């Protein structure tokens, strides 16, 4: 058997062992190969990273942006017209002679002053500058007529059931008004917890089914209502909310305006609704009807001679906002029609400015030009408006520097405007010469590079100095660039953006500018707040779309960084322009900024005068306010008048208080600034603030007294805008005595008309009298309509902000009046006026105590004795002011003042019947 006694292996076993050995060797070989491959891939990746890092300027963090370039979304608006489909002709002009029967104003009945849909309706009317009045349904009707015209062109019910359930008297009165003055009605069926199936609207051959979930809305192309809105498309997808109402009618007066389909996941069973009265609704519930369901319906007035539009849902669905505006136009016979013309300007700020990796490369510039060319097929003459700061040119990587070159090679393809040379905020400059030198650097750069310098338009970086106004900026703009128009989103600082308005300051027109959510820090669509879905929502019926629909002139602010990477800006504007063309009959056009500004203030001349808001109410405004201004120096209360009631005496008494400080005197109007009611207002906030120097003693309680504020029509709004938390002090005496005192005062100051006419001639002057005499009459009598003017103040300020002083008590007992005033103002320390005021028998009123026993009284013009008023003039004025005095008593009781002044009681008791 030999040395080894083990048996020999059989052949099959040898094969098995060999297979195992080969498999083991193969696996080892595969493992070795795999390792080599992994090492190769890693090395290749490192090499590519190094190459790309060199290529993009040593900015590895921006590799994500590079990857993003290969995934740029393109505008994808589902629209048959945009894809070559037929466009349904619609050119409805709603104007008829019936529009002459009423005024262009909307009367809105709401359930409560806090109801959501009511606020949405009012907000939409504000956006579109349509006048309106809100009334709570259920109360008595407001006055509906004015002589032979109706006060309102359309009646709107937030909840149509409130109209159906009106008491018979009011319902008949309202219906009669609508018929006689050809006034239409809009109603909304609001959601209720109970579901109605086949329920008949009270008194109408119209049936409803409520609380449905719907999808895929479309419009009736044959409807005469459509004007702003264009039919022919479908709003695909689920409609907002699950509480829609649909309609069925059995009368020819009704015509659907909008349809939708039942959502597929709405599957009620027959057992849930055993008492169906209408087979139509029965089929809807069981899903057997695939035909569209009417969601907005028009009543042609064939049933009761009143035209209506009834909505089966509120304004959350964007299409309903358009239909609501068209319904206002149609039902008002064209009185409340919005123009179909819209002008669009897109600013691209920060050209040549930006960090490496955020700037434009050559392919981005080419895309900008290509997109502009496509937009020009939809908006003739459209050009992007580029704002530049020359100092930072060629501060990118090699590709971005080539992008700068390509922009300059295509200078003539764009419009241009100037930023600052170094992108510095203008409010940081307190020297005009230095500010102008910075601007001149940018101007010289523009001339060197062939950039136009005559646009008359500029924008301050970060809106610095535009609002709050920095006067040096306006001066430098004029001297260096001959600027005539700018734009900002900082005035007024309102949300939503479509509420912004313009103004003119120092002959520079300031247009409202929309950000449309594209800020410097928003560079990628995926980084847009809320993501792509939120951006598309804004474009397709949302905020951006509505901004253009509601505003005839739109200037949008974007930045250079929005046009690189995935080109967020290009996607946004091309998409919204297509969506507007798809769903509206709006005619889009473009024009240079100066032309837009002239058009804007021709449309809205009432916005020429600014309304100075308070910079202290907004952190961003505080940061861009001139550094020599302080919130502490703004007045905390105002003495608003009226004239000849004792305001100068009150001013003197207040000035005695160590914690109270008044404004510096004016060289023209002495202690009164007269800012809010005169041409001084147009001089600007800096001019006003110069009367309130910054004081190291911030505990000072600043105030201003201008007796002409009381009856100024614009004054309450202006005061509230700048001083929303201010307290107001007014002094009232008998309006008849006030009028007489004012006449004598005017006469003593040499007024020619007052010296040529007696007091009785002035107050009895007719409307056919010479204009100077009529003007004197009005200035004499109008301030005494106390209740009318106080109501205007109380529109903007709460009652607790108002302190009314009895002028007769101020004269006879000033110490008590001043003590009450200190309590109202909550001023500390409490000042003892007993030691500082004393009655002077020679003057006949209280004066300031000085040097022990001596007194210092007001000047000779104060306390002047006049001949007594004629009895016939007194009786005439008591009769003239009777209704106004009666209204004053009611107002005082309403705001909680129970002590009616004796002079008011006497005037009412002595008034002729």
**Residues annotated catalytic, as ranges:** 644
The total of other beta-carbon atoms located within 10 Å of residue 434's CB is 11
For residue 339, give the 3-state DSSP assignment: coil
Cβ neighbors of 744 (< 8 A, separation 6 or more) are 759, 864, 866
Closest to 570 in 3D by CA, of 77, 69, 73: 73
The C-alpha atoms of residue 453 and residue 841 are separated, in whole angstroms, by 72
The C-alpha atoms of residue 384 and residue 387 are separated, in whole angstroms, by 10
- Sign of CA pseudo-dihedral 576, 577, 578, 580: positive
- Kindly report the backbone phi and psi dihedral angles of residue 429, in degrees, each rounded to the nearest multiple of 5, phi listed first: -90, 125
- The H or E element spanning position 242 is none
Cβ neighbors of 214 (< 8 A, separation 6 or more) are 238, 239, 244, 246, 260, 261, 262, 263, 293, 295
For residue 86, give the 3-state DSSP assignment: coil
- Kindly report the backbone phi and psi dihedral angles of residue 788, in degrees, each rounded to the nearest multiple of 5, phi listed first: -60, -45
Cβ neighbors of 99 (< 8 A, separation 6 or more) are 153, 332, 333, 334, 335
Strand 206-212 and strand 197-200: the pairing is antiparallel
∠ Cα 747 748 753 (to 5°): 20
563: DSSP letter: G
Closest to 784 in 3D by CA, of 826, 735, 750: 735
The two structure tokens encoding residue 237: 């997808």
607: DSSP letter: G
The C-alpha atoms of residue 464 and residue 458 are separated, in whole angstroms, by 12
For residue 197, give the 3-state DSSP assignment: strand
Residue 514, strand partner residues? 556
Helices (H), 356-423: 362-378, 398-409
Q: Is the peptide bond before 796 cis (omega within 30 degrees of 0)?
A: no
Angstrom CA distances, 126 to 99, 132, 498, 551, stand at 21, 9, 10, 11
Strand order across the beta sheet in which 802-806 lies: 660-662, 701-705, 637-641, 727-732, 802-806
- Sign of CA pseudo-dihedral 309, 312, 314, 316: negative
Closest to 686 in 3D by CA, of 701, 670, 675, 677: 675
- Kindly report the backbone phi and psi dihedral angles of residue 557, in degrees, each rounded to the nearest multiple of 5, phi listed first: -100, 125
Closest to 825 in 3D by CA, of 805, 849, 847: 805
CA trace torsion 218, 224, 230, 236 (10° rounding): -10
First to last CA, the chain: 154
Look at the block and give the residue holding tokens 């026993």. 853
The C-alpha atoms of residue 903 and residue 217 are separated, in whole angstroms, by 66
- Buried residues in 623-632 as b, exposed as e (16+ CB within 10 A): ebbbeebbeb
The C-alpha atoms of residue 899 and residue 889 are separated, in whole angstroms, by 10
DSSP 652-674: HHHHTSTTEEEPPPBTTTBT---
Contact 330, 337 (CB under 8 A): no
DSSP 16-67: HHHHHHHHHHHHHHHHHHHHHHHHHHHHHHHHHHHHHHHHTTS-GGGHHHHH
């Amino acid at each position: 058997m030999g040395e080894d006694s083990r048996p020999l292996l059989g052949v099959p076993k040898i094969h098995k062992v060999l297979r195992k050995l080969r498999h083991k060797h193969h696996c080892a070989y595969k493992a070795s190969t795999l390792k080599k491959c992994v090492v190769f891939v890693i090395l290749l990746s490192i090499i590519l990273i190094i190459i790309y890092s060199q290529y993009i300027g040593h900015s590895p963090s921006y590799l994500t942006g590079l990857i993003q370039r290969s995934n740029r979304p393109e505008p994808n608006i589902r629209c048959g017209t945009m894809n070559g489909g037929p466009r349904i002709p619609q050119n409805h002009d709603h104007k008829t002679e019936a529009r002459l029967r009423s005024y262009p104003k909307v009367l809105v009945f709401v359930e409560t002053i806090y109801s959501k849909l009511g606020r949405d309706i009012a907000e939409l009317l504000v956006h579109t500058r349509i006048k309106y009045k809100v009334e709570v349904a259920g109360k008595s009707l407001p006055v509906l007529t004015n002589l032979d015209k109706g006060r309102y062109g359309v009646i709107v019910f937030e909840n149509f059931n409130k109209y159906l359930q009106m008491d018979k008297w009011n319902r008949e009165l309202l219906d009669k008004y609508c018929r006689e003055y050809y006034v239409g009605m809009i109603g909304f069926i609001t959601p209720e917890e109970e579901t109605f199936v086949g329920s008949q609207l009270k008194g109408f051959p119209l049936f409803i089914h409520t609380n449905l979930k719907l999808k895929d809305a479309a419009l009736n192309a044959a409807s005469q209502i459509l004007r702003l809105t264009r039919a022919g498309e479908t709003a695909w997808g689920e409609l907002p909310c699950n509480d829609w109402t649909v309609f069925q009618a059995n009368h020819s007066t009704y015509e659907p305006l909008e349809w939708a389909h039942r959502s597929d996941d709405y599957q009620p069973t027959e057992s849930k609704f055993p008492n169906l009265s209408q087979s139509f609704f029965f089929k809807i519930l069981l899903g057997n009807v695939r035909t569209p369901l009417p969601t907005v319906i028009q009543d042609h007035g064939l049933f009761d001679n009143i035209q209506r539009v009834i909505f089966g849902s509120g304004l959350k669905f964007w299409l309903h906002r358009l239909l609501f505006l068209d319904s206002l136009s149609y039902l008002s016979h064209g009185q409340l029609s919005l123009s179909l013309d819209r002008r669009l300007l897109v600013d691209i700020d920060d050209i040549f400015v930006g960090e490496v990796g955020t700037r434009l490369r050559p392919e981005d510039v080419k895309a900008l030009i290509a997109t502009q060319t496509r937009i020009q097929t939809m908006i003739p003459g459209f050009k992007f408006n580029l704002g530049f700061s020359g100092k930072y040119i060629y501060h990118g990587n090699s590709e971005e520097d080539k992008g700068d070159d390509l922009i300059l090679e295509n200078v003539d393809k764009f419009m241009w405007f100037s930023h600052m040379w170094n992108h510095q905020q203008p409010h940081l400059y307190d020297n005009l010469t230095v500010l102008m030198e910075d601007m001149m650097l940018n101007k010289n750069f523009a001339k060197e590079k062939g950039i136009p310098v005559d646009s008359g338009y500029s924008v301050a970086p970060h809106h610095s100095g535009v609002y709050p106004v920095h006067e040096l900026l306006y001066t430098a703009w004029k001297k260096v660039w001959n600027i005539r128009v700018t734009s900002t989103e900082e005035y007024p600082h309102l949300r939503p953006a479509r509420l912004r308005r313009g103004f003119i300051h120092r002959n520079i027109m300031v247009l409202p500018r929309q950000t449309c959510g594209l800020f410097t820090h928003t560079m990628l669509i995926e980084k847009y707040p809320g993501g792509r879905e939120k951006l598309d929502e804004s474009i397709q019926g949302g905020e951006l779309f509505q901004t253009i629909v509601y505003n005839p002139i739109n200037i949008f602010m974007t930045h250079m960084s929005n046009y690189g990477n995935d080109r967020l800006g290009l996607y946004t504007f091309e998409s919204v322009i297509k969506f507007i063309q798809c769903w509206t009959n709006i005619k889009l056009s473009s024009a240079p900024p100066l032309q837009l500004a002239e058009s804007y203030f021709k449309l809205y001349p009432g916005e020429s005068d600014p309304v100075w808001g308070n910079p202290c109410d907004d952190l961003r405004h505080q940061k861009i306010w001139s550094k020599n201004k302080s919130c502490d120096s703004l007045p905390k209360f105002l003495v608003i008048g009226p004239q000849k009631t004792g305001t100068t005496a009150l001013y003197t008494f207040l000035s005695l208080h160590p914690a109270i400080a008044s404004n510096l005197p004016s060289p023209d109007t002495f202690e009164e600034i007269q800012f809010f009611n005169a041409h001084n207002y147009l001089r600007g906030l800096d001019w006003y603030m110069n009367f309130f120097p910054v004081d190291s003693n911030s505990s000072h309680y600043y105030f201003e007294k201008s007796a002409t504020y009381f009856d100024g029509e614009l004054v309450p709004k202006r005061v509230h805008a700048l001083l929303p938390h201010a307290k107001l002090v007014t002094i009232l005496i008998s309006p008849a005595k006030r009028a007489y005192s004012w006449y004598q005062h005017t006469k003593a100051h040499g007024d020619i008309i007052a010296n040529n006419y007696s007091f009785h001639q002035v107050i009895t002057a007719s409307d056919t009298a010479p204009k100077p005499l009529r003007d004197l009459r009005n200035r004499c009598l109008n301030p005494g309509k106390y209740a009318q003017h106080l109501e205007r103040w109380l529109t903007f300020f709460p009652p607790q902000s108002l302190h009314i002083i009895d002028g007769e008590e101020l004269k006879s007992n000033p110490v008590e009046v001043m003590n009450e005033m200190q309590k109202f103002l909550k001023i500390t320390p409490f000042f003892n006026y007993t030691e500082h005021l004393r009655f002077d028998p020679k003057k006949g009123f209280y004066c300031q105590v000085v040097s022990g026993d001596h007194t210092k009284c007001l000047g000779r013009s104060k306390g002047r004795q006049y001949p007594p008023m004629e009895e016939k003039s007194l009786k005439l004025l008591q009769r003239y002011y009777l209704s106004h005095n009666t209204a004053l008593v009611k107002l005082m009781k309403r705001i909680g003042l129970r002590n009616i002044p004796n002079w008011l009681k006497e005037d009412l008791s002595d008034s002729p019947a």
